[in-house]
Structure 1
Amino acid sequence: MQIATRDRFEPLCRAISSVFDQDYDNFEIIVLDDASEASDICDRLRSKFDDPRLRCFRNTEWSGVSAVRSRMMDLGDGEVYCSIDDDGAFAHASCLSRIVDAFLADPKLGLLAGKIKDYRDGQERLLLPFGKRDLMRSPELPEGRHRVSYFLAGCYAIRRSVVEKCGAYRPEMMYGEEELDISYRVIAAGYDIVYEPEIVAYHWPEPSAFKMDQPRSEIYFQIKNRFHLAYAYLPARFIPSYIAVWLVRYLVTCLRRGLVSDYLVGVKDGVLGMRRGPRQTLGNDAVTYLRSNYGRLWY
């Protein structure tokens, strides 16, 4: 069990409590504090929970969400890596046992995506690995078990052997689209990503853990990382429309937020990054999987 955190001690304790309340108890909890302002987070956790299954580590310098998630995988010892957000919690006591049973039952299952009930602004909404168009066509999708093409990191589990084969999160991505990056690699390796609606996590959004004194905003990394995804994985015929659609969407957002400089630098660095990085183009089987399981290729 892995939980990344930064400056969210009380919500973190709620998340950890929901893990200890599970009806499956053969787990360890890896907490990685990404340079919280308070340096005693781990000591306070050990004092509060006093359970050897809880292991806490601290980064002395902020490293970003991708690097934190990757490091937690290196620190974990289990056969399945499971994660929820520090401002979330499992919704019921059988989430972990359902995760374990799912992986035992299906050797082709590489990554399991849960249902996230988000309570932003006091309203419940579902965070799901389906596009808006898919949900409009099939409103019943959230209630069924389906193969899907990506996941949301607020509630998911992945086999350790899949990480060893496909690689963990890319630290250089820092923030944004890191789930899609690892999803492409899981699918390309021949594994399934499955959405399981009976595995549910709540999410009460806290202020962003992104370190605000960085020279660039979150959206800079999102723009740059979209170029990486297009160049690294997509067959050539999909790249122009993919880049064009996302650049228009990000431009609108940046104009509204007054982040035109971040937009321009993100585009520049994204293009330069395409020249440096290797291509791992998705093969025909992976493209077919995406088309058949709620994935997108043109945007």
Structure 2
Amino acid sequence: MQKPLFSILITTKNRIEELQFTLQKINNLLQREDVECIVFDDGSTDKTSEFVLKNYPKIKLYRNEKSKGLIFCRNKMLGITQAKFAISLDDDAHFVSENPLEEIEKAFTTNPNCGVLAFRIFWSKQPLLATHTNQQQKRVQGFVGCGHAWRLESWKKTPNYPEWFVFYGEEEFAAYELFKKDIEIQYTPQILIQHRVEVATRKHQPDYTARLRRSLRAGWFLYFMFFPWQSIPKKILYSMYMQIKIKVIKGDYKAALALGLAIFDVFIYFPKLMRNSNRFSSVEMNKFLSLPETPIYWKPQNE
């Protein structure tokens, strides 16, 4: 059997309605002979697997009976696929731009030293009425998990995402490892996805403290693993200061709890951070930081 050119990788857990919407939106891509789709059901209890098996027989379905986490699933899917290009989509994200696969192939072909494409991302549950952008493709520091594409050849040259991060930080980890190997990440605004999330509402969701804890600790983990020693104290202290300034002193006590738990995590994981470090020299760090920052949020009015 001929290997697929593209593989669309989706991890999901107990979000069957979001997954249904995403699969419907990309259904035209799933019908192509050069495309495979892998869905990893990470221990859902809402009959996600049954839905996929019944309605999308061409999809390669994998399942954890007990949840093992987003990063575990992404590592597994990237290890399973034999495609040349692997496209990572969240279960609540879909393509908006036309001909995204052709644009992905073109971007990789014209940039042979590129290992990852970072897509342009519109974050909202509301319909996107204007899609035009004046942004140009360029090399950047990193990429966002909800929408990007790997050249599988480059993935195989880097360590797997660190599953012990649990959630957050794995893309930055990969970005640092890619930079160490002089493999580029290209921001491709011609490839637009909509991530159906209202970021402002996350503060009021039950997992707010857990998300903030993991986000903070992931950043600090990466400092200890990759940054020159002399820069780490300043980086961490500034991070703490900003959390206290913009959240804690304004009465966000969940943020205070998350801050304390993240500090605790650094102490617990410190030996592991040292064992897995791949530290930049000061010259390497300055060169990396001279690249444009990772574009995360795009809105038409920003043009």
TM-score by length of 1: 0.81
Equivalent residue runs for 1:35-54 within 5 Å: 35-38=43-46, 40-50=47-57, 52=58, 54=59
Q: Which amino acid aligns with 1:175?
A: F
* Alignment pair present for 1:197 and 2:189: yes
DSSP-derived class of the 1:157 partner = strand
Pairwise CA distance, 1:199: 0.5
Task: Output the CA distance in 2 between the equivalents of 1:260 and 1:8.
Answer: 29
Deviations 1:201-235 (A, max 9, x none): 11212898xx9699x71222222222210010011
* Alignment pair present for 1:231 and 2:224: yes
* Alignment pair present for 1:91 and 2:96: yes
Which residue of structure 2 aligns with residue 80 of structure 1? 85
Contact 2:228/2:282 (8 A) holds in 1: no
* Alignment pair present for 1:294 and 2:268: no
DSSP-derived class of the 2:289 partner = helix
Task: Output the CA distance in 2 between the equivalents of 1:125 and 1:170.
Answer: 38
Q: Tell me the C-alpha RMSD between the 2 structures.
A: 3.0
Which residue of structure 2 aligns with residue 108 of structure 1? 113
Residue from 130, 148, 159 that aligns with 1:156? 148
Q: Which amino acid aligns with 2:266?
A: G
Task: Output the CA distance in 2 between the equivalents of 1:281 and 1:97.
Answer: 37
TM-score by length of 2: 0.80
Which residue of structure 2 aligns with residue 129 of structure 1? none
Q: Which amino acid aligns with 1:220?
A: R
Equivalent residue runs for 1:18-37 within 5 Å: 18-22=25-29, 25-37=33-45
Give the length in aligned residue pairs: 276
Which residue of structure 1 aligns with residue 260 of structure 2? 264
Which residue of structure 1 aligns with residue 300 of structure 2? none
Which residue of structure 1 aligns with residue 279 of structure 2? 281
Q: Which amino acid aligns with 1:192?
A: E
Compared with structure 1, are the counterparts of its residues 75 and 225 closer, same or farther at alpha carbon in structure 2 (3 Å cutoff)?
Answer: same
Task: Output the CA distance in 1 between the equivalents of 2:55 and 2:197.
Answer: 23
Compared with structure 1, are the counterparts of its residues 59 and 290 closer, same or farther at alpha carbon in structure 2 (3 Å cutoff)?
Answer: same
Task: Output the CA distance in 2 between the equivalents of 1:64 and 1:212.
Answer: 18
Contact 2:97/2:190 (8 A) holds in 1: no
DSSP-derived class of the 1:166 partner = coil
Deviations 1:228-271 (A, max 9, x none): 10010011232122111212233454651435333223202213
Q: Which amino acid aligns with 1:26?
A: D
Pairwise CA distance, 1:280: 0.6
* Alignment pair present for 1:64 and 2:66: no
Which residue of structure 1 aligns with residue 4 of structure 2? none
Task: Output the CA distance in 2 between the equivalents of 1:265 and 1:5.
Answer: 27
Task: Output the CA distance in 2 between the equivalents of 1:202 and 1:35.
Answer: 25
User: 5+ residue gaps in structure 2?
Assistant: 1-7, 295-303
Compared with structure 1, are the counterparts of its residues 287 and 118 closer, same or farther at alpha carbon in structure 2 (3 Å cutoff)?
Answer: same
Q: Which amino acid aligns with 2:12?
A: T
**What percentage of residue pairs aligned between the two structures are identical?**
20
Task: Output the CA distance in 2 between the equivalents of 1:100 and 1:286.
Answer: 30
Moved more, 15-24 or 221-230: 15-24
Task: Output the CA distance in 1 between the equivalents of 2:109 and 2:269.
Answer: 39
Pairwise CA distance, 1:109: 0.3
Pairwise CA distance, 1:25: 4.3
Task: Output the CA distance in 1 between the equivalents of 2:207 and 2:187.
Answer: 36
Pairwise CA distance, 1:74: 1.9
Q: Which amino acid aligns with 1:56?
A: L
Pairwise CA distance, 1:45: 1.3
DSSP-derived class of the 2:45 partner = coil
